[in-house]
Chain A
Amino acid sequence: MVDASEVADEGAQLTCKFVTKLPKELRVPEAALTVPANLTRYGLSQIINHLLDLEMAKPFDFLINHELLRGTLQEHLSARGASAEVVTEIEYIPLQLPPSPGPRTPHDDWIGSLVGGAQGLISASYDGAVRCVRSDGGVASVFVASARPLKALAVGGLGLAAAGDEGCVGVWELGPGGAVPAAPRQLVSLRGHTDAVAALAFSPDSALLASGGWDRGLHLWRSADAAEAAASGAPAPAAAKKRRVGKAEGAEAAAPAPVLDASAAELAGHTGAVSSLSWTREGRLASGSWDHSVRIWDAETGAGVDTLTTGKARGEDVAPQRLRGHAGWVSALCWHGGREHLLASASHDGTARLWDVRASIPLHTLAGEGKLLAAAWAGQVLGVGGEGREVVTHTL
């Protein structure tokens, strides 16, 4: 129990009830407790540990009305206008400990994109190479996907899609278990963009591949069409010629890949370069653009569902919450696959940050190297990379 004299010294107190969704051995009795109002997360965690009487202390984080407690209880409640008279229900969850720094994987050039594969992180670099990074930091495999910088990667059921300044999206076959072979076969080359491609994303069911580029275009490619084109194996003559020009210095060991010219749909609407793509679980596509807007598309019909305008540049700011902390441009965002509130961001200020979106300040700040341009989760491993020419990993 809390020392009574200590409570008396501290002045204001409030009554609270601790609840949790943790397993039974970590639950405390749901009786109302009177705690000092100036307690912070650490103090509350001490109380819980005291109540649980564990052998080894376990840090907890606390949620009040689905918001993480930052600062003292009193500050938190008064800032939200909550009354200190009623019994406050506080949910406790295990504290997200700072991730441990993992191995670093040097690259030959800047890292343009990262994606989490089944066997580890896959990086696309400015030198046109795609590397599969093992969890111990070694490079499992590498192949040159393009003669020009690669800026976008995506892994789906169809295979590995990579694109960059060249403007075409190449899809490579992945090995068993999602491993990247040393010399993968290029299934198909998707040609629809007239300028560099900036973003790629497979739909959750891998039926669709979305690609956005600097030509302000947003294309949807059907995996079935690509597979069909790959099966037919008929490369367009013009495209083959272009590819030969692109890979002038050789390395055209493999036969030119078949080309798919027509995308399944082109979603028109953005007036700036489409720089970021993401799918929802329901099969909707969100696209971020240099025209300061995020558009939500219905992939089935190809119609725009919503337009979210952000920033002060144009119109109102509709974002309900802002996570502030980065000192430079935020270049990449990725959600953790298993934890719904955990978000990682990479920024030009050279840091990556872990966020719990229930709090407005970051959980942890992770040092990177140079301007960070890409970030990706591979299981519990966060990899970031960019100007520093190395993939820096952090393990939760």
Chain B
Amino acid sequence: MSPKRASTGARKPAKNEERPPSEVDVSELVLSSGSDTEEEDVEAFSGDSDSEADVEHEIDHAVKDYVGALTRNVGNGAGQPPTVDASEEDEGREEADEAGFVTSESETGTDGEMGEEEPASPRPQDDPASDSSEDERPGRNTVGNVPLEWYDAEEHIGYDKDGMKLVKKGRKDKLDTLLARNDSTKARLAGELGSGHFLRTVYDDYNDEEIVLSKAEMRMINRIRTGQFPHLEVNPFPEENDWFTRDTEVMPLTGAPEPKRRFVPSKWEEKKVVKLVRAIRRGWLKLGAPPAEEADKPYLMWQDDGQASSRTGTGLAYIPAPKPRLPGHAESYNPPKEYLPTEEELAAVAMQPEEERPAFVPTAFPSLRAVPAYAAFIKERFERCLDLYLCPRGRRKRAPVKDPSVLVPHLPKPRDLQPFPSAEGLRFLGHAAAVTGLAPDASGAWLASSSRDGSVRLWEARTGRCAARWDLGELQGAELGRGVAGLAWCPDPALRLLGVACGEGAVLVHQLSKGATQAPFRKTRGRPVHVLFHPTKPLFFLATQQQIRIYNLAKQAMVKKLFTGAGVITSIALHSTGDHLIVGSEDNRLAWYDLDLSTRPYRALRFHSKALRGVAFHRSYPLFASASDDGLVQVFHGMVYADLMTNPLIVPVKILHGGVPQLAVAFHPTQPWVFAGGQDGVITLYVNV
């Protein structure tokens, strides 16, 4: 062995990790199979250096491994027993040694390539033409792949192919081995042909024989160990013939005509393109250069501390707790003098009741050491905890609406809903104080109005001429006259009767034909605001400031009670069908009740910015109007359908600006005109143009 090889061998254990797995396996085998006793024995007999012993030991084990594999593969096959060399068997060691190979040590220079050629060992079963390694060394033993320990106590090691016992020959002892080695060495030195194969002799304990490996086999082993192919003639990289190249051949390989698919766009490519286009459109694929990486810039660590982060790490909505107020100069242990209370202020604080005293009075201490324990600490912490605990954490989430226009109901355009009052047509001037009530007569020629000045006037609706004036203050006394509660025409057009109610607080039913007056209610709940008769049914509507009750006059019982929201009712009006009621209240709300539907408002219209004072339905046109303290008269289209399944259509069509608070509103009975009475005593007639 060359010094280089020896040094390499000496370093081998350190390089275990770097070797390929196969070699690691081999070395593992070596380590596990090699016993210390053997090594020591070898050293004792050889007296060689440590490095040489290591190398030979490895070779020995590798060979043993190879041969073991060979023989075990053909363990059952009938084969010629390998030639047995003169090696003695060590009885005591045989039990511990699983592999059971013993190799003799030798001097360096036994590598196959360097040494002389030696003919293969004479084994008649070897068929040189056969490529199978199994044919090379047919086993003598036929016991099969069974543990050899079974035969430890026996005289034989198994059976040959004829069923005869193979008697153990017994291994050579150390002395025999030594002698054989010496013989071999001598023979080699003497130049005898075929000698000196001691180092190539391995023991096969399966067949209980010694096998002398040929030099070709040793070379093969060495090649395996170095990771090469066992046979030299194997070429791992044969010359490749590229039959299919990108170069266009003059003669095609096949004579088949070009298929159609060569000429049509590829379906699969198209599918792929569609996928890509879709991904680009949906933003899964980003085109263009990737966004430049943000350079590491300085940033404010506490930037978000003041702001509420709307998301937690889990993506859930999160409302951070309110932050406590930070201490200022006044809370300092030694605040500037301007923060310190004067003696008068301290005295004033002391005079206050305990609940009203400020929680903290700035006090100055000469040094931080002099600051006493903070007495209110526990209380403050408790209140802070209470604040956090009671803090409202709800967050109203708006519905995700992409297009706000979908929220707007589809209503017809006001110009399609004409006629409706849209311009001022006439002014009725004469009242000295706010107009409280308006009542056009059935023909539409006259308008009666009442005012806070205590007068009732009759106007010619066509010209604005005041045809008559009655001063109720003179008739009834100033107090009564000032409180003209309401006025109404007799529904019978033949009877030109105008009823005027003064005073307040009572509900009376007057029977004109009998000239009698009844008080239908034993006690009144709340202050009555307005009363109405149903146009066709014997129903009586009583609106108090808080609620609306509907009584059946025939049964003398209450039929319905309408629930209003908050707010004092100021006016009501009944649709000409009698099934719909509008209610104006002081909370700026106009509520539409469908009496067939519910006792709750069908719709609440909040279009005024101040309290409503008057509401009115048109007798024949689908119109209703509201007058409010904000000076506006708003006209709505309120179509009621005879079909019970269709809800009323309510569309605001016109806002009429009266300028001053409008207290009364009434529609002309035949024309789409509306009268509005203002606080300044002016009655305005709005007409359609």
Interface residues of A (CB under 8 A from B): 110, 126, 149, 194-196, 214-215, 272-273, 290-291, 312-313, 328-329, 331, 348, 371, 373, 386-387
- Which of B419, B445, B687 is the one whose CB lies under 8 Å from A196? B445
Docked pose: A371 CA to B425 CA in angstroms: 12
Q: Are B463 and A387 in contact (CB under 8 A)?
A: yes
For A214, the chain B residues whose CB sits under 8 A away are 443, 445
Whether a CB of chain A sits under 8 angstroms from the CB of B444 is yes
Docked pose: A313 CA to B670 CA in angstroms: 11
Whether a CB of chain A sits under 8 angstroms from the CB of B651 is no
Q: Are B670 and A110 in contact (CB under 8 A)?
A: no
11 interchain pairs, CB-CB under 8 A: A149-B467, A196-B445, A214-B443, A214-B445, A290-B670, A290-B671, A313-B418, A313-B688, A328-B425, A371-B464, A373-B463
- Which of B426, B443, B465 is the one whose CB lies under 8 Å from A195? B443
Give chain B nearest CB distance to A338 CB in angstroms: 31
Give chain B nearest CB distance to A116 CB in angstroms: 22
Interface residues of B (CB under 8 A from A): 418-419, 425-426, 443-445, 463-465, 467, 494, 670-672, 687-688
- Which of B419, B445, B494, B671 is the one whose CB lies under 8 Å from A312? B419
Q: Are B671 and A329 in contact (CB under 8 A)?
A: no
Which chain A residue has the least Cβ–Cβ distance from B668? Answer: A290
For A328, the chain B residues whose CB sits under 8 A away are 425
For B465, the chain A residues whose CB sits under 8 A away are 110, 126, 387
Docked pose: A110 CA to B467 CA in angstroms: 11
For A195, the chain B residues whose CB sits under 8 A away are 443, 445
For A291, the chain B residues whose CB sits under 8 A away are 670
**Chain A contact residues: over half helix, strand or loop, or mixed?**
loop
Q: Are B419 and A313 in contact (CB under 8 A)?
A: yes
Q: Are A348 and B426 in contact (CB under 8 A)?
A: yes
For A348, the chain B residues whose CB sits under 8 A away are 426, 463
Docked pose: A291 CA to B444 CA in angstroms: 12
Q: Are A313 and B672 in contact (CB under 8 A)?
A: yes
For A110, the chain B residues whose CB sits under 8 A away are 463, 465
Q: Are B463 and A312 in contact (CB under 8 A)?
A: no
Give chain B nearest CB distance to A182 CB in angstroms: 28
Name, among B445, B494, B671, the residue most crowded by chain A CB atoms within 10 Å (CB to CB): B445
Nearest 6 A-B pairs (CB), nearest first?
A313-B419, A214-B445, A214-B443, A312-B418, A272-B670, A290-B670
Which chain B residue has the least Cβ–Cβ distance from A275? Answer: B462
Please give 7 more A-B residue pairs, beta carbons under 8 A apart, in addition to A214-B445, A348-B426. A110-B463, A126-B465, A195-B445, A290-B670, A312-B688, A329-B687, A331-B463
Give chain B nearest CB distance to A214 CB in angstroms: 5
Docked pose: A126 CA to B465 CA in angstroms: 10
Docked pose: A215 CA to B419 CA in angstroms: 24
Docked pose: A376 CA to B463 CA in angstroms: 19
Which chain A residue has the least Cβ–Cβ distance from B418? Answer: A312
- Which of A194, A273, A329 is the one whose CB lies under 8 Å from B494? A194
For A290, the chain B residues whose CB sits under 8 A away are 444, 670-671
Give chain A nearest CB distance to B399 CB in angstroms: 41
- Which of B418, B425, B445, B688 is the one whose CB lies under 8 Å from A273? B445
Give chain B nearest CB distance to A114 CB in angstroms: 15
Which chain A residue has the least Cβ–Cβ distance from B460? Answer: A149
For A329, the chain B residues whose CB sits under 8 A away are 425-426, 687
Give chain A nearest CB distance to B686 CB in angstroms: 13
Which chain A residue has the least Cβ–Cβ distance from B420? Answer: A313
Which chain A residue has the least Cβ–Cβ distance from B494? Answer: A194
Docked pose: A329 CA to B423 CA in angstroms: 12
Docked pose: A195 CA to B444 CA in angstroms: 12
For B671, the chain A residues whose CB sits under 8 A away are 290, 313
For B463, the chain A residues whose CB sits under 8 A away are 110, 331, 348, 371, 373, 386-387
Give chain A nearest CB distance to B623 CB in angstroms: 12
For B419, the chain A residues whose CB sits under 8 A away are 312-313
Give chain A nearest CB distance to B492 CB in angstroms: 12
For B425, the chain A residues whose CB sits under 8 A away are 328-329
Which chain A residue has the least Cβ–Cβ distance from B426? Answer: A348
Which chain B residue has the least Cβ–Cβ distance from A328? Answer: B425
Which chain B residue has the least Cβ–Cβ distance from A373? Answer: B463
Docked pose: A329 CA to B463 CA in angstroms: 10
Which chain A residue has the least Cβ–Cβ distance from B445? Answer: A214
For A312, the chain B residues whose CB sits under 8 A away are 418-419, 688
- Which of A273, A313, A371, A386 is the one whose CB lies under 8 Å from B443? A273
For A386, the chain B residues whose CB sits under 8 A away are 463
Which chain A residue has the least Cβ–Cβ distance from B687? Answer: A329
For B426, the chain A residues whose CB sits under 8 A away are 329, 348
For B445, the chain A residues whose CB sits under 8 A away are 195-196, 214, 273
Give chain A nearest CB distance to B637 CB in angstroms: 14
Docked pose: A328 CA to B464 CA in angstroms: 13
Docked pose: A348 CA to B433 CA in angstroms: 25
For B687, the chain A residues whose CB sits under 8 A away are 329
Docked pose: A234 CA to B467 CA in angstroms: 33
For B418, the chain A residues whose CB sits under 8 A away are 312-313
Which chain A residue has the least Cβ–Cβ distance from B688? Answer: A313
Docked pose: A110 CA to B672 CA in angstroms: 27
Docked pose: A371 CA to B418 CA in angstroms: 27
For B670, the chain A residues whose CB sits under 8 A away are 272, 290-291
Which chain A residue has the least Cβ–Cβ distance from B496? Answer: A195
For A273, the chain B residues whose CB sits under 8 A away are 443-445
Docked pose: A196 CA to B467 CA in angstroms: 13
Which chain A residue has the least Cβ–Cβ distance from B465? Answer: A110
Docked pose: A124 CA to B670 CA in angstroms: 27
Docked pose: A272 CA to B444 CA in angstroms: 9
For B688, the chain A residues whose CB sits under 8 A away are 312-313
Docked pose: A291 CA to B464 CA in angstroms: 20
Docked pose: A149 CA to B446 CA in angstroms: 14
For B467, the chain A residues whose CB sits under 8 A away are 149
Give chain B nearest CB distance to A336 CB in angstroms: 25
Docked pose: A373 CA to B460 CA in angstroms: 13
Docked pose: A343 CA to B687 CA in angstroms: 26
Which chain B residue has the least Cβ–Cβ distance from A196? Answer: B445
Docked pose: A106 CA to B671 CA in angstroms: 34
Give chain B nearest CB distance to A316 CB in angstroms: 13
Which chain B residue has the least Cβ–Cβ distance from A271? Answer: B670
Give chain A nearest CB distance to B438 CB in angstroms: 19
Give chain B nearest CB distance to A62 CB in angstroms: 33
Docked pose: A195 CA to B446 CA in angstroms: 12
Docked pose: A110 CA to B494 CA in angstroms: 27
Give chain B nearest CB distance to A104 CB in angstroms: 20
For A196, the chain B residues whose CB sits under 8 A away are 445
Docked pose: A387 CA to B467 CA in angstroms: 13
Docked pose: A273 CA to B441 CA in angstroms: 13
Docked pose: A195 CA to B670 CA in angstroms: 16
Docked pose: A214 CA to B460 CA in angstroms: 12
Give chain B nearest CB distance to A68 CB in angstroms: 26
Which chain B residue has the least Cβ–Cβ distance from A312? Answer: B418
Docked pose: A328 CA to B425 CA in angstroms: 7
Docked pose: A214 CA to B446 CA in angstroms: 11
Docked pose: A205 CA to B21 CA in angstroms: 138
Docked pose: A341 CA to B452 CA in angstroms: 52
Docked pose: A50 CA to B470 CA in angstroms: 69
Give chain A nearest CB distance to B426 CB in angstroms: 7
Which chain B residue has the least Cβ–Cβ distance from A148? Answer: B467
Docked pose: A195 CA to B463 CA in angstroms: 17
Give chain B nearest CB distance to A375 CB in angstroms: 15
Docked pose: A110 CA to B419 CA in angstroms: 31
Give chain A nearest CB distance to B682 CB in angstroms: 16
Give chain B nearest CB distance to A217 CB in angstroms: 12
Name, among B444, B445, B463, B688, the residue most crowded by chain A CB atoms within 10 Å (CB to CB): B463
For A313, the chain B residues whose CB sits under 8 A away are 418-419, 671-672, 688
Give chain B nearest CB distance to A128 CB in angstroms: 13
Give chain B nearest CB distance to A146 CB in angstroms: 14
Docked pose: A369 CA to B258 CA in angstroms: 104
Give chain A nearest CB distance to B464 CB in angstroms: 7
Docked pose: A110 CA to B463 CA in angstroms: 10
Give chain A nearest CB distance to B463 CB in angstroms: 6
For B464, the chain A residues whose CB sits under 8 A away are 371
Docked pose: A161 CA to B671 CA in angstroms: 29
